[in-house]
Amino acid sequence: MSKKSKTQYANIGALSLRPMSGYEMKKMMAGSTNHFWSESNGQIYPTLAKLAKDKLAKLKTEMVGTKERKVYQITSAGRKKLKDWLLEAVEHYPARNELLLKLFYSQNISKSQSIKHIKQHAEDCKKMLELYSDIEKRLIEKVKNGERSVYFLVTVLAGTKLVRTEIDWCKDSIKLINQYAK
């Protein structure tokens, strides 16, 4: 059996911020937890239904014209479940990184080819850094103004710090490869 899924908790967590529909949850994840957690529709909708079945969330169907909109609201049992999980020790996922895997075996190709991948990665990181930096700035302001966003801030800080390091690593690696690879 595989490692216990954390999807359920990611979804109760989202509902702990405010009541939401599946569609909104998807958007919300794409906009704020995307760099460390994201889920597809194939997970969100069934999980939300199960949450309601297990009384961890309460379903309220709103009508938008003739179209329904299913808004889920966390229950006290749901909050309890979330807290219990938050207190549990963090489990580690074996991370996979295809760039590093390719580099590890790059003796088999020319240095210009392997450097191309690294340069591309640096570009990608720079784009992400721009994005995260803006969010970071706004969150720092919010936190200083007394809003309770420290926890959002620390997750974004992880993003900015790590991509900055990756950009550094790209530079160092290119130098090393240029100097020492055949």
Q: Which residues bind DNA (CB under 7 A)?
A: 1-7, 21-24, 27, 38-43, 45-46, 48-49, 64-71, 94, 96
Q: How far apart are CA 105 and CA 16, in angstroms?
A: 45
Q: What are the φ and ψ backbone dihedral angles of 37, each rounded to 5 degrees?
A: -160, 130
Nearer to its own copies, 61 or 97 (CB): 97
Q: Judged by CB, which is closer to DNA: 4, or 148?
A: 4
Nearest CA-CA partner of 72 in 54, 49, 40, 46: 49
Report 102-131 residues binding its own copies (CB under 8 A).
102-109, 113-114, 117, 120-121, 124
- Residue 66's binding partner among its own copies, DNA, none (Cβ under 5 to 8 angstroms by kind) is DNA
Query: How far apart, in Å, are the Cα atoms of 163 and each of 33, 101, 129?
Result: 15, 18, 6
At how many degrees (to 10) do helices 7-17 and 41-53 cross?
80
| Amino acid at site 70 | K
Complex with DNA: residue 28 or 162, whichever CB lies closer: 28
Burial of residue 118 (number of CB atoms within 10 Å: 0-12, 13-18, 19+):
buried
Residue 154, contacted partner among its own copies, DNA, none, CB below 5-8 A by kind: its own copies
Residue 33 as a binder of its own copies (CB under 8 A): the answer is yes
Q: Which of 30, 25, 1 is nearest to 12 (CA)?
A: 25
Instruction: Summarize as ranges the residues that interact with its own copies (CB under 8 A).
Output: 6, 9-10, 13, 16-17, 32-38, 79, 82-83, 85-87, 89-109, 113-114, 117, 120-121, 124, 143, 148, 150-155, 157-158, 161-162, 164-166, 168-169, 172-173, 176-177, 180-182
